[in-house]
Every structure is written in structure tokens, then in C-alpha cells.
Amino acid sequence: MIQRIETLTRVTKAGIINLLLWSGLFAVYLVYDKYTGSLDWDLVMVFIYLYASILLLNTLFFLILKFLLVQFRYGPEAAYVISNLLVTALFFINNLAVSVYGKQLGMEGVVMAWRGWTGGEMGDFTSSLIKMLIIIILYAGLFTLSYTGLDRLFSRERTRGRVFGILVTAATAVMLVLHIKLAAMAAVDWKMNIIKHKIPWQSVTGFPEDQIRVNEDGRAGIAFPALFTNPPLLDENTELTQLKKLHSTREKILSSHITVSRPMNILFINCEGLRADMLNPQNMPHLYRFASQRGFILKKHYTTGNNTPGSLYGMLTGLAPFYFEPLRGNQFKNMTLEVMKKAGYRQSIYYNSPKQYEYIYRDIIAGTEGFFVRAPGTKFDDYGPRERILVDRYISELKNYKGGPRFDYYLMNVTHFNYYYPEEFRRYKPDYTKNFTIISGPQEKFRKDRVELKNRYMNSVLYCDHLLNDILKALENTGRLRNTIVVITGDHGEEFWEHGSFGHTWGLNNIQVQPAAMIFYPGIKSSSIKYRYTSHQDFFPTVFDLIGISADWRKFTTGKSLIDYDPDLDFAISSLGILCSFKRNGYAIMGDGYKILFRNNMDLNTSPYAIYDDNDMQVDNIDTYRAVRLLMKAADSKRLSPFR
């Protein structure tokens, strides 16, 4: 038995030296790719840890492949080369996924990469695959060449299996010791926390879970103290239980006679990535004038999720972000739109994105809308040029519509990257005019172009303002504005590396979670809304209050009516947006001048991990009373009232 093990583990000296050489060079590349500062002990520890990890994974693959290829003459050599190729590809693709998408390998990272490639956002999939194959062939050739040269130098001298075992044992011991050290450091030091992203299997390594930061330098703000003697639990079963009970009473609610005492029309418009600071006289002159003179600008307004699905869930359900995962995971119906339909509202959905984009239609719209409208085209073409067609179609339908009250939802895409605008709206220069593909994430290769990219974005915002003005003028000219509630907002913000990333989805800073927002309804005054903090989940409760719906909307929403001030509800909750079919557990609560980052399904001593003021500035001294009160509101926000 011992002899068989020694035979299996016996390798040439050339193989060991070559592996040590190439693994070392690769570890240097991985470390250098993330660290640009001076050489220090932390950097050395990271290098050794990566080096040992690469060697051990190589060893594991080599032993498995050698056993499988034992019948072949050159089986050991093939096992040696293939194992190194597999390990190199694994670490390299993982590193690429982190650089581009901000996600290490794992189901979410793989799906994001696949979507980026197949959807065209990261270039042509076939050409990318060919390039990768060429790189693999070149790498395999160089690696084999160096191995062959060393093999000739040492005349195929072999090491004993015991020597090989000692080397592996030593590498394992070094890695384990460093792992304990680095895992402890990663819990408190954001710079060391990034090391886990270099390890493709980091989710099972015991490294602490990502803590979403706000500031570009990664600071968490002041260390969050334990504030409770007997801390309440943010239990994710709470919202699931409430939704199940709501689902069980669904038929009873919908079987009742639902009426409205003030049947106004309703128009919700989401503008992709429209951040809060864009609603000003320069970037959006038409909307700013309308909102400031005739409506109400919500200045501290927050999306329920910092991407399109997370935003639309809150806007079209009236629920806090805690409920999105159990809602779609259990295929519960969207009670809000069902109640609107039962109340006699004709519901129309307008957007040029694919109908089943992120399963938005399937999970929160299907079964309630009367019309789903897209401009002619395919799901793969640029939807920007088709926005004009869709706006004109909507305006035409408004002019010709003679029916009862209607609820219209419009998702405007021109402000989504790659940011579309006709030539006459090219005000901000220099703008990025190259042919490019980009998605949200660190996107380091584009950072140098951030000024030009933001100018391109601002030009698309200017065009968006023009289209919105056409819709508002149509409402005015047809007399419909006298009887229409209008909500115009971004679905989320859009970052241009102000906090270290591009786009949205990845951070809880105000740029990403605080979109532009305004509301208009007949009779609104500058004093009508007293809330300082508002959210996407508040729009439908406000609408229900304004139209005087007979159903008790508090049974199926958690938002607040903006026209009924309650100081205990003057806060907002945002979250990381929904991605694919993956659960994300990052939340922020804003209120009383603070922003606290926290996680669900934890007690209130361990759930909060960072605190800032509501302008994303670091807090030096925590007002304990204010922090405790705000965290208790986070727990109390799971408030489907009949089931508390």
C-alpha cells in the first residue's frame, strides 16, 4: 500500500522546480494586480498564502489526473501540464470576474459573466472564447517548454514520494497558519478582506462575508458597538410568515367590492440610473421647472434596491426590500397591482427592455396588466433609438383613450449605459464616443475615461428630460394633468467611480441608492409632504391615500403615505439590488441624520456594521440613543400590520 502511494506521488525534480517557478510568478501577478503600494509584511503574507494555495490545488488535480491517466505512456506528464492549466485558468478567470463584475467565482459570478458575454455586454462571446483558447495554448506551450528544458537538465531525476509528501505537508501547514491570520485580519481590515476574492473557493474558506462599504477607501466608519443588552433579532422568517398569511387571505381581500372615491389616473415613470443630483436646472431644465413649480421634489429619496429589479419590486408592490426574495422565491402574487385591477384600473406597461428582463414581468406584473407595449425591434438591439417611438406611441394612446381610470408604468432606457442621445443633445464634451461595451462593476480599464463617460451620461439625461417634457406637455394639452398623479424617479443612481466603482448594484452609497424623484398630484402644495426621508415603497401607499381606495392598503404594503405624516415613519430602507436568482444581504436604513449599514437574519448587535451620516460622511462619535432608535425602526419596518 505504501509503495503504491509512493508511486502515485513520485514526480520529477524538473516538475517540482517548474511548478515552484510558474506558481510563484503567477502569485506575483495576482498580488500585483490588486496591490499598488509599497512592499510590506501584509503583502508578503498574501503572496505566500496565494503561492501555497496554488501549489496545493495543483497537487490535488495532479494526483487525480495521474490516477486517471495511469494507463497512458505519457500520463504523468499530461496530468502535470493539465493540472497546472486548470488551476491557472481557475485563478485567472476568478481574478477577471472580480476586476470586471466585482464578484468572485461562485454561482453569482459565473452567471454574471455568462450574461455579460452572451448578452453582448462584454463583447462577442465567440471571439472571447477564441482569444481565451489562444492564451491557453500559448501558456501550455511555454509551460511545457520550460518543463522540458528542466527535465533535460536533471535527466529525469525523480524525487521520493516521501519528499513530495513532506513538501505538500509543509505547504499545507503554512497555508493553514496564514489562513487563520488573514481571516482574522479580514474581519477588521478592508484591505485584507479583498484577499478572499483572489481565492476561487473563498465562500467555503471561512473568510468573513463581504461588508458593503460607502467610502472609496473602504472605511467602514467608526466601529459599531454592541448597543443592546438583549438584542432583537432581524429574523428573515418574519417576512416569509407574513407573506404566507397574506397569500392565504388574498382571495378574501380580492373578493370584496373595491372602489375608489377619487378615481384619478396614475403615471409612474422610471428613468434608468437617474441619480439625484441630475434633477437641476442645467441637466434637466424641463423636469426641474415642472417639479419645483407644480410638483414636489423628494430630496432625500431612496430606491428600495440599487438595480432595476430591486427598484421595481419596491415601486410596484409597496413593500420593503426584505420581502423581495421570499415574494418571488415562493411565487406570491403582487397584491398591489391585483387590487388596482380589481378597483377598475386599466394597467399598461411600457418599456423597450426584453419583456422577461430579470423576471420582472413574470414576478410582479404578469396577470394584472391590460397592455404590454414595446417599440418594434429585437431584445438584442439598442433600445435607445426606439425610445422616441415608444414615447410617441404612449402620447398617441393618451390622446385617443376614452376609457376609465388608468395606471401606466413607463421604464425609460436612454439613460442606461451605453447612454443614448441624438447629436443635437451633445452638450457636454468631451463625451465618450468610442464603440464600447460596459456593465456595472469596478471596470478599472474605463476609470481613466470617467469624465468622458459621465459627459455621455449627462447628454442622455438631457435627452431624457426632453422626452419627459413631451409626455408632460401631452398630459397638459389633453387636460389629463388635472386628474393625474405623476411620479417620475430614477430606478437607482449611477456611479462614475466616486466611491470606487462604475454603475450601480454593488454599493450602498447615496449616489447608487438615492435617485432623482418628484411627485405631482392635483392640489399639491409645497407644504403637502413633511417627510424628510422617502422611498420607492411609499409611492403606492400615497396613491392609495390620494384616490381613496376602499381596501386597507396597510394589509399588503409596508410603505407610508406621504400625505399623512407620522414622525415614527420618517426613515427609509434601501438594499443591494436583486441579481439573477441570488440572495443578497446588504441593507441601509436612513433617518434622523444617520445611515446605518446592516444585514438581515441577525440580532441587532451583530447586524449593523457601519454608520455614517446621511451624506455618507464618517461619524466620529455615535449618538447611542439615535442609533438604537433607528435600528429599532429597521426591525419594525417588517410591518404588514395585520400579521405583526
Q: What number of other Cβ atoms are within 10 A of residue 521's Cβ?
A: 22
% of the chain surpassing 70 pLDDT: 82
Is the predicted pLDDT of residue 260 greater than 90, yes or no? yes
Q: What is the mean pLDDT of the chain?
A: 84
Among 127-136, 433-442, 488-497, 601-610, the range scoring the smallest mean pLDDT is 127-136
Please list the alpha-helical segments (H only) found in 492-577: 510-513, 539-547
What is the predicted pLDDT for the residue at 634?
93
Q: What number of other Cβ atoms are within 10 A of residue 184's Cβ?
A: 12
Specify the pTM: 0.81
What is the predicted pLDDT for the residue at 50?
85
What is the predicted pLDDT for the residue at 81?
81
| pLDDT digits 0-9 by tens, 562-593 | 999 999 999 999 998 876 656 678 899 999 99
Is the predicted pLDDT of residue 120 greater than 90, yes or no? no
Please list the alpha-helical segments (H only) found in 235-330: 237-248, 250-255, 285-294, 308-317, 324-329
What is d(CA 365, CA 99) in angstroms, rounded to the nearest whole number?
35
Average pLDDT estimate for 382-391: 87
Is the predicted pLDDT of residue 352 greater than 60, yes or no? yes
Is the predicted pLDDT of residue 294 greater than 80, yes or no? yes
| pLDDT digits 0-9 by tens, 14-35 | 777 777 888 888 888 777 765 5
Average pLDDT estimate for 595-621: 90
Average pLDDT estimate for 285-314: 96
Among 104-118, 194-208, 301-315, 575-589, the range scoring the smallest mean pLDDT is 104-118
Is the predicted pLDDT of residue 364 greater than 50, yes or no? yes
Max avg pLDDT among 162-166, 263-267, 328-332: 263-267
Max avg pLDDT among 70-79, 606-615, 624-633: 624-633
Is the predicted pLDDT of residue 2 greater than 50, yes or no? no
What is the predicted pLDDT for the residue at 379?
53
Is the predicted pLDDT of residue 644 greater than 50, yes or no? no
Is the predicted pLDDT of residue 396 greater than 90, yes or no? yes
Average pLDDT estimate for 482-495: 97
Give me the domains of the chain, ranges plus CATH numbers.
Answer: 2-204 (no CATH), 234-250+259-643 (3.40.720.10)
Is the predicted pLDDT of residue 422 greater than 90, yes or no? yes
Among 99-108, 226-235, 318-327, 420-429, the range scoring the smallest mean pLDDT is 99-108
Q: How confident is the model at residue 4 (pLDDT cuts 50, 70, 90)?
A: very low
Angle between helices 41-68 and 161-186 (to 10 degrees): 140
Nearest C-alpha neighbor of 384 from the set 460, 474, 456: 460
Average pLDDT estimate for 207-215: 65
What is d(CA 16, CA 8) in angstroms, rounded to the nearest whole number?
15
% of the chain surpassing 90 pLDDT: 46
Question: Which has the higher per-residue pLDDT, 621 or 209?
Answer: 621
| Strands 484-490 and 517-520, bridge-based pairing | antiparallel
Contacts of 486 by beta carbon, 8 Å cutoff, 6+ apart: 267, 269, 295, 472, 475, 519, 520, 521
Average pLDDT estimate for 264-293: 97
Average pLDDT estimate for 617-640: 91
Average pLDDT estimate for 531-550: 98
Is the predicted pLDDT of residue 192 greater than 70, yes or no? no
| pLDDT digits 0-9 by tens, 139-148 | 777 777 777 7
